[in-house]
Structure 1
Amino acid sequence: MHKNNKPVNSRRNFIKQTSLAAAGFWIVPRHVLGGKGYIAPSDKLLIASVGVGGKGESDIAMFYKSGKAEIPFLCDVDDARAATTVKAFPKAKYYKDWREMYEKEHKNFDAVSISTPDHTHAVATLAAMQLNKHVYVQKPLTHDIYEARILTQAAKRYKVVTQMGNQGASNDGTRQLKEWFDAGVIGDVHTVYCWTNRPVWPQGIPWPSTKAPIPKELNWDLWLGTAPAKDYIEKLVPFNWRGWWDYGTGALGDMGCHLMEAPFRVLGLTHAKDVQATVGTVYVDAMKEGFFPESCPPSSHVTLTFPKTTKTKGDVVMHWMDGGIQPTRPDELGPDELFGDGRNGTLFIGTKGKMMAGTYSADPRLLPLSRNQEVKVKQTLERVPNGAQGHYAQWVEAAIAGYGKKELSAPFETAGPLTEALLIANLAIRGYNLQVNKADGKAGFPGRYIKYLWDNENMKVTNFDAVNQFVKRQYRSGWELNPG
């Protein structure tokens, strides 16, 4: 199958020369079987996968499970992490560097799945889009605000089918919440709370002074990619990178897309106009605050203000809480009744009532819980078959159909602004611990205890310029983002 703007002319030779089916037999693309316009019922989407361990492993399995995809190429910098997937798809050609895979094989696949650490998302994704490949990218869409804006624009420019991997966007829960809201059940929403128990990895710590031996299966230089050159440290891979700003985006990057997606969909939110934050403080000694700007903080409370939308009567204030911090339990919720899903949750506060849900917008409930038996509204929104699990097949089928032919739950059109919002929240978090020299030569923290005013069109904070360095980072030589 190939539905992109640039035809694959060498597919017949490619199929003759290679046998890459992971299981069973190779499915011959439609243009080989019957020429232009021929639609074969056995047509498959050929997906090249970048980052095939961990979440990448499960993503690939779900694409293949759809019955409409083949996995001819795998790419990972860590042979140990990739081992299970390589074993599952033994005939797939394996690469270490996605740039080499794109260069050598781009005529032989239709789409790319990217499941790497956050700092690699944008460069690998944009390069695939510039080759007219459909893309599925794990959340958060990007590491920086600038990158999210670029990818959102690129999806429209290159007319490729896009999906972010926040699978809860395909759940029934987020649609049930919207139907309640649209029916006026809770009135006008003015306040939203989102909270998580993350991080569950180290944060608020100094960068270790002692380097560790690089695992023999890991290509450390390729893993660093866009990030500054540094020595490897113990246990950074495969998971603890999330707590370091060079690579990850903290608890917001991990859970923000899952918990903030429903408010964006339900209320029609687009961009924040201001943000403020407080963060958990680490003390290394009595009354001596630890200063670790390379590391995300152990906890934070961020307040974002979103301007009035077509769905609201005024501004919407969104509170983000992480590190185990939760909002005060609503009066309508019994003392022993589950708040969110216990660890994570989203709460909508309206003029006529409240509603909440857990991770992925699962288990939506009106408050008090007795209302769920009393209130009945008409289903107005189509459900995604198999909910969160169907998120993968939805993208595969949309890519086969072609750009603009099928609706998606998390195309870059919506995933981009959602990602920008959580990264704007991260600006306030990073600004809190940003030291700036005073006139007397001493360092201070002028970014604390202020409200950051956000100029969305120009992508910058207007009243604290020092934090704008995090809107668009510097890339290591050879790994630059090239919008074209």
Structure 2
Amino acid sequence: MTEEKDTDKTSNPSRRDFLKTSTIAAAGFMIVPRFVLGGKGYTAPSDRLIIASVGVGGKGESDIANFSKTGKADIAYLCDVDDARAAGTVKRFPKAKFYKDWREMFEKESKHFDAVSVSTPDHTHAIVAYHAMQLGKHVYVQKPLTHDIYEARLLTEAAKKYKVVTQMGNQGASNPGTRQLAEWYDADIIGDVHTVYCWTNRPVWPQGIAWPSKTAEIPTTLDWDLWLGTAPKKNFVENLVPFNWRGWWDYGTGALGDMGCHLVEAPFRVLGLQYAKDVQASVGSVYVGEFTQGHFPESCPPSSHITLTFPKTHKTKGDVTVHWMDGGIQPERPEELGPNERFGDDGNGTLFIGTKGKMIASTYSDNPLLLPTSRTKEVNVKQTIARVPGGTDGHYGQWVEGCIAGYGKTELSSPFSVAGPLTEALLMANLAVRGHELKGGHIKMIWDNDNMKITNFDAVNQYVKREYREGWTI
């Protein structure tokens, strides 16, 4: 099959106009959401949030449904590169105007919506969200916040610069379980935590494989060029969209990107973690033929064990070591856990090890437990942290309410000021994973946070900020 012509060059007039608009916005001009117009004493014409959604199939479909359930959000605009993937959402919201290209939607409709929800593959999160923020739009972005470390830092700073309400889609951040863990820790029930283990059964998609050599016919409903977006131009292959892109570095961030924001969020909240100072990794091998180790640099590995060191915080007495394990690797069961008691759930979990005890939780920080588990009912700690109404489901309503109230008026569970550093730590861990591809081996990589680079293995720094394809800018 011949490769499609590149249709997203900046020579297209509508693209030129959009880039011009974005440049003006970056210089300081901002289209202000309708509900913050006016002055002192101004009463908004409506307490409803008008949302434009980019990526409306799969997770995007459920995100939109949850916004709609709040009763305070109107889904006015839908955008997706695949008509078939978007069909269910389009049918559910027949009054919403549909676009295939988010740039065209922003160019034509930005005066008519207040906020943008981004549920696209990882490699296009940042470019959509950043341009939305430049236009003064509040943003909800699926996890991981970005594909690259540079993008995460950029969005974190942009949220403050453009004064917009932000939330990352790691709904476990609104789970009462994270707050229970924090209350136990703050009450000194388990002493000072020095070690944390987080593990997952992901990937549940192919990883550690070679890029398919055989091209395939592009579905008539899919605009493949728009799907590629910032990524390098490649021929369409089977079994990539809509799900398995997660295992390819050009588009996804592997198991860490998929589950890290869910499982590592609790240690960040409980211990006040910010930016890691070093990282090391070992990865699972793939064998092709007898005694021949496969090396597939385009694909994430089938499993990994990554160790991050975080410096002392206001909530810890010293450094904290966080272990990440994926591909089915799990830490040794704590001796305080009964032989028939579950260690996490469905292959996912988080274990905190303190000087006076241990505590565990499952996916999204569900089912928090002290060890031995009998302590959970024996220990009485006063509730000091407010719960999010609705828990994980309330994560969506919290953002909607925050957008209606306006920037700085309400507290959110995963604003970019929190989600940005969390995402950066996970993506820094992936630098150690990619170091194996560059034959760096199992070395400890030292992170210079201010300059966003590894200081002792420069080869991996190319992944801190990747090159975007021509015609796509941020």
Query: What secondary structure does 1:37 align onto?
Result: coil
Residue 442 of structure 1: aligned partner? none
Q: Does 1:451 align with 2:408?
A: no
Does 2:451 match 1:426?
Answer: no
Find the counterpart in structure 2 of residue 242 from structure 1. 246
Partner residue, 1:6: 31
- Equivalent pair of 2:156/2:416 in contact (CA under 8 Å): yes
Aligned partners of 2:32 and 2:136 also within 8 Å? no
Q: Amino acid of the residue matched to residue 43 of structure 2?
A: Y
Does the Cα contact within 8 Å between 1:189 and 1:349 map onto a contact in 2?
yes
Question: Are the equivalent residues in 1 in contact too, given 2:207–2:300 (CA < 8 A)?
Answer: yes
SS in 2 for 1:275: strand
Distance 1:36 1:72 in 2: 28
- Which residue pairs with 1:297 in the alignment? 301
The letter for the 2-side match of 1:100 is: E
Distance 1:272 1:156, change over 3 A: same
Q: Verify the 8 A CA contact 1:73 1:94 in the aligned structure 2.
A: yes
Corresponding residue of 1:53: 57
Tell me if structure 2 keeps the 8 A contact 1:280–1:299: yes
Alignment partner, residue 141 of structure 1: 145
Q: Is the 8 A contact 2:191 2:354 kept in 1?
A: yes
From 258, 265, 278, the equivalent of 1:261 is 265
Asked if 2 retains the 8 angstrom alpha-carbon contact of 1:51 and 1:76, the reply is yes
What letter corresponds to residue 457 of structure 2 in structure 1?
Answer: F
CA distance in structure 1 between the aligned counterparts of 2:36 and 2:128, rounded to whole angstroms: 28
1:161-198 Cα shifts (integer Å, max 9, x gaps)? 00000000000000000000000000000000000000
Structure 1 residue 405 corresponds to structure 2 residue 409: yes
The aligned residue for residue 415 of structure 1 is: 419
Q: Which residue of 2 aligns with 1:168?
A: 172
Residue 446 of structure 2 aligns to a residue whose secondary structure is: strand
Residue 393 of structure 1, CA deviation = 0.4
Distance in 2 (CA, whole Å) between partners of 1:271 and 1:367 is 28
Structure 1 stretches of at least 4 aligned residues deviating more than 4 Å after TM superposition: 29-32
> What is aligned with 1:472?
465
Deviation at 1:448, TM superposition (A): 0.7
Q: Deviations over 1:1-57 (max 9, x none)?
A: xxx963468xxxxxxxxxxxxxxxxxxx7989x9971245x5210000000000000
- 2:280/2:307 contact within 8 Å kept: yes
CA contact (8 A) 2:33 2:136 kept: no
CA distance in 2, matches of 1:8, 1:139: 25
**2:464 pairs with 1:460:** no
User: SS state of the match for residue 276, structure 1?
Assistant: strand
Quote the residue 2:365 is aligned against: 361
Note the 1:372-383 alignment, pairs <5 A. Answer: 372-383=376-387
Give the residue type in structure 2 aligned to 1:259. Answer: L
Query: What is the CA–CA distance in structure 1 between the aligned matches of 2:275 and 2:305, rounded to whole Å?
Result: 19
The C-alpha deviation readout for 1:288-310, integer Å capped at 9, x for no partner, is 11010000000000000000001
Q: Is the 8 A contact 1:31 1:38 kept in 2?
A: no
Taking a change above 3 Å as real, the CA distance of residues 325 and 30 of structure 1, as seen in their structure-2 partners, is closer
Counterpart for residue 125 of structure 1:
129
Are residue 193 (structure 1) and residue 197 (structure 2) matched? Answer: yes
User: Which residue of structure 1 lines up, in the alignment, with residue 181 of structure 2?
Assistant: 177
Kept in 1: contact 2:149–2:424 (CA 8 A):
yes
CA contact (8 A) 2:32 2:135 kept: no
* CA deviation map 1:135-164 (0-9, x unaligned): 000000000000000000000000000000
**Contact map agreement 1:275 1:303 (CA 8 A) in 2:** yes
Matched, 1:38 2:43: yes
Tell me, in whole angstroms, the C-alpha distance in 2 between the residues paired with 1:310 and 1:480.
39
Question: Is the Cα contact below 8 Å between 2:36 and 2:406 reproduced in 1?
Answer: no
Deviation at 1:287, TM superposition (A): 1.3
Residue aligned with 1:388, SS: coil
Shift of 1:449: 1.6
For the residues of structure 1 that align with 2:246 and 2:391, how far apart are their CA atoms?
27
Residue 307 in structure 1 maps to residue 307 in structure 2: no
The amino acid that maps onto 1:448 is G
Task: Identify if the C-alpha distance between structure 1 residues 177 and 203 changes in structure 2 by more than 3 Å, giving closer, same or farther.
Answer: same
The answer (yes or no) to whether the contact 1:30–1:43 under 8 Å persists in 2 is: no
Q: Distance between the aligned counterparts of 2:432 and 2:204, measured in 1?
A: 21
Report the Cα offset of residue 106 of structure 1.
0.3
Q: Distance in 2 between matches of 1:122 and 1:480?
A: 10
- TM-score, normalising length: structure 2: 0.92
- Structure 2 residue identity aligned to 1:37: Y
Match of 2:209 among 194, 205, 219: 205
Q: Does 1:225 align with 2:220?
A: no
Pairing 1:19-30 to 2, within 5 Å after superposition = none
CA distance 1:35–1:275, change in 2 (3 Å): closer
Counterpart in 2 of 1:441? none
In structure 2, the partner of 1:20 is none
| Matched residue type, 2:244 | N
Q: CA deviation at 1:285?
A: 1.3
Match of 2:395 in 1: 391
Distance 2:448 2:40 in 1: 51
Distance 1:231 1:115, change over 3 A: same
Shift of 1:340: 1.0
Cα deviation code 1:249-283 (max 9, x no counterpart)? 00000000000000000000001000000000001
- Report SS of the residue matched to 1:305: strand
CA contact (8 A) 1:196 1:345 kept: yes
CA contact (8 A) 2:33 2:137 kept: no
Aligned AA (2:285):
T
Q: For 1:351 and 1:174, how far apart are their aligned partners in 2?
A: 20
1:103 is matched by which residue type in structure 2? Answer: E
| Aligned pairs, number | 446
Name the structure 1 match of 2:73: 69
Deviations 1:354-392 (A, max 9, x none): 001001001000000110121110000000000000000
The separation in 2 between residues aligned to 1:31 and 1:285, in whole angstroms, is 66
Q: Distance in 1 between the 2:395 and 2:318 partners? A: 32
2:340 pairs, out of 336, 341, 354, with 336
Cα distance in 2 for residues equivalent to 1:477 and 1:39: 41
Give the 3 Å change call, closer, same or farther, for CA 235–43 of structure 1 in structure 2: same
Deviations 1:304-338 (A, max 9, x none): 00000010000000000000100000000011100
